[in-house]
Amino acid sequence: MGLFCVVVSLVLIYTLNQRFYSGDWHEIKRTFLVCSLSPIKLRTCPCETTASLSPSPCVGLSLCVSLPAFAEQILAEAKSAIRRMMESLPKLGGLALLLLFFLSSSTLTSVEAYDALDPNGNVTIKWDVISWTPDGYVAVVTIFNFQQYRHIPSPGWTLGWTWAKKEVIWSMMGGQTTEQGDCSRYKGNVPHCCKKDPTVVDLLPGTPYNQQIANCCKGGVISSWVQDPANAGSAFQVSVGAAGTSNKTVKLPKNFTLKAPGPGYTCGPAKIVRPTQYITADKRRRTQALMTWNITCTYSQFLAQKAPSCCVSLSTFYNDTIVNCPKCTCGCKNNATDPGGCLDPNTPHLESVVSNSPSNQPLVQCTSHMCPIRVHWHVKLNYKEYWRVKVTITNFNYRMNYTHWNMVVQHPNFDNLTQIFSFNYKPLTPYAGLNDTAMLYGVQFYNDLLSEAGPLGNVQSELLFRKDKSTFTFEKGWAFPRRIYFNGDNCVMPPPDSYPWLPNSSPRLGLPKLIPFTPILAYVLLLFLHL
Ligand SMILES: *[C@@H]1O[C@H](CO)[C@@H](O)[C@H](O)[C@H]1NC(C)=O
Ligand SMILES: *[C@@H]1O[C@H](CO)[C@@H](O)[C@H](O)[C@H]1NC(C)=O
Ligand SMILES: *[C@@H]1O[C@H](CO)[C@@H](O)[C@H](O)[C@H]1NC(C)=O
Ligand SMILES: *[C@@H]1O[C@H](CO)[C@@H](O)[C@H](O)[C@H]1NC(C)=O
Ligand SMILES: *[C@@H]1O[C@H](CO)[C@@H](O)[C@H](O)[C@H]1NC(C)=O
Ligand SMILES: *[C@@H]1O[C@H](CO)[C@@H](O)[C@H](O)[C@H]1NC(C)=O
Ligand SMILES: *[C@@H]1O[C@H](CO)[C@@H](O)[C@H](O)[C@H]1NC(C)=O
Ligand SMILES: *[C@@H]1O[C@H](CO)[C@@H](O)[C@H](O)[C@H]1NC(C)=O
Ligand SMILES: *[C@@H]1O[C@H](CO)[C@@H](O)[C@H](O)[C@H]1NC(C)=O
């Protein structure tokens, strides 16, 4: 296991990251820790799970390696590494193809939902049966967002499930199903929904009081757990008919699906848990639900398959070069096929153009990267004991005010962050011994709103780090972040070989000598895992 992780770390760092320059042991340590601390499960799985993602024929059962935290990281990084290799090193095209082949044919693609920076993050759906009725029960369903930094943004969550028997929903409060379905077998009282697989959405703010319950009616928007715990939940009430009427006969609904708003979440089965206890307002009496079950859903960037929406640019005080976001990160500006695809900030009467174009489409400012969000990392000053970074987040979207925005940054020096100006800071430390990831977010009423594109469409902060003499260096891109997320989405970094150099430093080493062999090494390793 240890050896396995060493090999995986080295392979990952050499081939995929291209970030390993001598001295950057932090990357190896991190990869190794994440690998060895994530639950690695070996299990057999049906062929189709891999065959659907793999061009290679699949015979019988293959051994699936489920490396939750890790596989996603490998896949995500491999994808961008392959893209970078294809773009910058045409000569290595053959190698890239080999890499692509090993990735697509490897069973690592059967990953479980997981987020390496928030491995315990989940959305928990809790059903509390609060009363039995003559033909069923009344339950309060609560959705908790236990993710540190990922919100459920507008247009909000959509929750679906399949009834175990012929249940119907007589009525709902604080939420509604999107379709009623066929209720023709009911005379007189018609149920709210008769579908076998109902789909529920939240009600909008401003719903009449007699249709509300506590924590409902926020248009399905839920905050992340760290930023706004008071708004990290959402609730609705269902009155279920044609169902069991005691904790022995009730059948749990199955096959839960959560869209929040798009795909990306995978939900487990409902599990009966200890009934929820309620404390009365005067705190002198406890009541409890008649029965409670929980469903846990986890997010996977791999499943969400989102196109990039954010990119990173870099600059330093010691080199005039500003490394811009990679070109066409989030799409290409194209006059011929998509003339109104973006908006030139110098357009006269900009505001009327924005308000007159169809309002359901995003409208970004014309840039070479076309991303709605750019994060700029400027290495600003070098003191004897400290060094200082300025971070600016710029909004290029004319149609979006980001309320409660957040950013996650990974850099080895976050374990000695001394001061941060005008942003909130919370260290994310899911792996013991690694304190290299920070969640940064706005201060309420000051800069927690990132305004739409324009003169006000940016927020900025400065970070002061204390130097650790044994690791600190301005060389080899060490001072730049390793990974940035904005609102839970990965921001595309420029390729490491374009990073600004220190003056007088010799040009960077070419690719490490091992490069030509590592894809083969990796392939052998994966073949070995394949069995
Ligand atoms: C969901 O997240 C909460 C809060 O982090 C955690 O206590 C709980 O164990 C998680 N549940 C699962 C099934 O991982
Ligand atoms: C069930 O969900 C609730 C609320 O999300 C949580 O507090 C509780 O710990 C969960 N129970 C189990 C056993 O996961
Ligand atoms: C059902 O209720 C009985 C008592 O009313 C209790 O003993 C039993 O544990 C409950 N079963 C479940 C699955 O909650
Ligand atoms: C579960 O839901 C998905 C999508 O809604 C559907 O494709 C699948 O057939 C369902 N499975 C069962 C066992 O109902
Ligand atoms: C795109 O169109 C604008 C005006 O419509 C024009 O000024 C610009 O030169 C065009 N760019 C290209 C690359 O054709
Ligand atoms: C963003 O906020 C500003 C000021 O509150 C408002 O004028 C503008 O219409 C908002 N834009 C969008 C797209 O909601
Ligand atoms: C991580 O580092 C920060 C900054 O030095 C510190 O405030 C925080 O307590 C550390 N967290 C852990 C878990 O070590
Ligand atoms: C940096 O942080 C680490 C871990 O918190 C600590 O062991 C080390 O002494 C710190 N270094 C400096 C120079 O403060
Ligand atoms: C700044 O960095 C670039 C690489 O991005 C390099 O080409 C250039 O020579 C460097 N400038 C100086 C003054 O070292």
**pLDDT of 240-288, one tens digit each?**
999 999 999 999 999 999 998 889 899 999 999 999 999 998 999 999 9
State the distance between the two ends of the chain, measured CA to CA, in whole angstroms. Answer: 17
* Cβ contacts of 36-42, under 8 Å, gap ≥ 24: 36/1, 36/2, 36/5, 37/431, 37/432, 38/67, 38/68, 38/69, 38/70, 38/114, 38/119, 39/68, 40/1, 40/65, 40/66, 40/67, 40/70, 41/65, 41/66, 42/66
E strands, 189-301, in order: 199-202, 233-241, 254-259, 265-267, 271-273, 277-279, 286-288, 291-299
Amino acid type, 164: A
- What's the pLDDT score for residue 50? 36
Q: Whose CA is nearest to atom 5 of ligand 8?
A: 415
Q: Are 224 and 146 in contact (CB under 8 A)?
A: no
- Return the minimum-mean-pLDDT range out of 183-197, 211-225, 488-502: 488-502
Any ligand 9 atom below 6 A from CB of 503: yes
Nearest CA to ligand 1 atom 4: 146
Q: Mutate which of 403, 452, 458 to test ligand 6's pocket (most atoms within 8 Å of Cβ)?
A: 452
What b/e string do you get for 257-268 counting C-beta neighbours within 10 Å, with b at 16 or more?
A: bbbbbeebbbbe
Q: Kindly tell me if the per-residue pLDDT of 446 is higher than 80.
A: yes
Q: What average pLDDT is seen over the chain?
A: 80
Atom of ligand 9 nearest to the CA of 323: 5
**44-58, 229-243, 306-320, 354-368: lowest mean pLDDT where?**
44-58
The token duo for 490 is 């990965």
Short-list 234, 231, 289, CA closest to 258 = 234
Other residues' Cβ atoms within 10 Å of the Cβ of residue 93: 11
Question: Looking at residue 393, what is its pLDDT?
Answer: 97
What are the tokens at 162? Answer: 């399949």
> Ligand 9 in contact with 319 (CB < 6 A)?
yes
Tokens at 424, concatenated:
């909130």
Q: Report which DSSP code applies to 423.
A: E
Contact 329, 486 (CB under 8 A): no
Residue 106: which pLDDT band, with cuts at 50, 70 and 90? very low
Residue with tokens 């359901």: 360
Predicted pLDDT at 39: 55
User: Could you tell me which residue, 273 or 16, shows the higher pLDDT?
Assistant: 273
Is the pLDDT confidence value at 478 over 50?
yes
Among 336, 273, 271, which Cα is nearest to 297's?
271
Instruction: Kindly state the tokens that stand for 63.
Output: 């051994």
Summarize pLDDT for 28-45 with one digit per residue, the tens.
Answer: 677 777 766 665 444 333
What torsion do the CA atoms of 207, 212, 216, 220 make, to the nearest 10 degrees? -40
CA dist 62 → 31, 44, 70, 265 (Å): 26, 6, 20, 25
pLDDT of residue 354: 75
Q: Read off the pLDDT of each residue in 284-311 and give the average, rounded to a whole number.
A: 89
Q: Mutate which of 255, 258, 259, 265 to test ligand 4's pocket (most atoms within 8 Å of Cβ)?
A: 255
Between 524 and 315, name the one with better pLDDT: 315
pLDDT of residue 88: 53
| Strand partners for 479 | none
Are residues 142 and 295 in contact, defined by beta-carbon separation less than 8 angstroms?
Answer: no
- Of the pLDDT bands very low, low, confident and very high (cuts 50, 70, 90), residue 351 is confident
Residue span(s) of the chain under CATH 2.60.40.290 come to 123-303, 308-347+354-498
Per-residue pLDDT, 453:
87
Average pLDDT over residues 40-68: 37
Of 344, 350, 339, the C-alpha closest to 368 is 344
User: pLDDT tens for residues 145-183?
Assistant: 999 999 999 899 999 999 999 999 999 999 999 999 999
| Res 111 pLDDT > 60 | no
Query: What is the b/e burial string over 301-332, where b = at least 16 CB atoms within 10 angstroms of the residue's CB?
Result: bbbeeeebbbbbbbbbeebeeebbbbeebbbe
Atom 2 in ligand 4: residue holding the nearest Cα: 255
Measured from the alpha carbon of residue 339, the closest ligand is: 5
Nearest CA to ligand 3 atom 10: 247
Residue 274 alpha carbon to ligand 3 centre in Å: 10
Secondary structure class of 135 (helix, strand, coil): coil
**HEC sequence for 252-279:** CCEEEEEECCCCCEEECCCEEECCCEEE
pTM for this entry: 0.81
As a whole number of angstroms, the distance between CA 324 and CA 494 comes to 7
* Cα separation, 183 vs 164, whole angstroms: 17
Local confidence band at 300 (pLDDT 50, 70, 90 cut-offs): confident
Query: According to the model, what pLDDT value does residue 200 have?
Result: 97
Cα gap 504→114, rounded to integer Å: 43
Query: What's the pLDDT at 2?
Result: 63
The SS3 of residue 43 is strand
326: which DSSP letter? P
Which residues form ligand 7's pocket by a CB distance below 6 Å? 415-417, 427, 429, 435
Tell how far the Cα of 334 is from the centroid of ligand 5, in angstroms.
Answer: 9
Q: What is the pLDDT of residue 294?
A: 96
C-alpha of residue 447 to centroid of ligand 4, in Å? 43
4: three-class secondary structure by DSSP: helix
- Per DSSP, what are the bridge partners of residue 466? 386
What's the CA-to-centroid distance between 253 and ligand 8, angstroms? 51
Atom index in ligand 1 nearest the CA of residue 124 equals 1
Q: Is 154 in the pocket of ligand 6 (CB under 6 A)?
A: no
Output the CATH code of domain 308-347+354-498: 2.60.40.290
Decide: 402 and 145 in contact? Cβ < 8 Å.
no
Ligand approaching nearest to the C-alpha of 335: 5
Tell whether the model's pLDDT for residue 23 goes beyond 70. no
CATH code for residues 123-303: 2.60.40.290
Stretch 66-82: mean pLDDT = 55
DSSP state of 15: I
Q: Mean pLDDT: which of 224-238, 335-349, 427-441 is highest?
A: 224-238
pLDDT over 50 (residue 531): no
**Closest C-alpha to 16, from 93, 70, 82:** 82
Is the Cβ–Cβ distance between 319 and 503 less than 8 Å? yes
